[in-house]
Amino acid sequence: GQNIDQPTEMTATEGAIVQINCTYQTSGFNGLFWYQQHAGEAPTFLSYNVLDGLEEKGRFSSFLSRSKGYSYLLLKELQMKDSASYLCAVRDDRGSTLGRLYFGRGTQLTVWP
């Protein structure tokens, strides 16, 4: 099965940097996603990693280590609007679950002024 762990809550101040970690265990790993979800809204795609290393996209970066089953999402120059839940999701390509994404419970980030 899949086991995806991420912290439940984090807080940071405006302008700071925060790192949200995610660890996973899965048999048919074929990519890791980060999604942002504001309360009551749909999750929106932030980043995708399938190879080891860092992917940078503006203020957001995501890192993957497949051997360690570990990823992190780095948010720089935090803004109030970054207060949201951040979901780590792993793609599993085994058999009948081809391409299915498994989600962690999300990390609720609160940014203070």
Residues of this chain that interact with other proteins (CB under 8 A) are 30-31, 33, 40-45, 48, 50, 87, 89, 91, 96-106
Q: In this structure, what DSSP letter does residue 113 have?
A: -
Is the Cβ of residue 7 or residue 76 nearer to other proteins in the bound state? Answer: 7
Is the Cβ of residue 91 or residue 111 nearer to other proteins in the bound state? Answer: 91
Distance of CA 88 to the CA centre of its chain: 3
Is the Cβ of residue 3 or residue 13 nearer to other proteins in the bound state? Answer: 3
Phi and psi, residue 99, nearest 5°: 75, 5
Question: From the CB of 21, what's the least distance to other proteins, in Å?
Answer: 16
Q: Are 18 and 110 in contact (CB under 8 A)?
A: no
Question: From the CB of 36, what's the least distance to other proteins, in Å?
Answer: 11
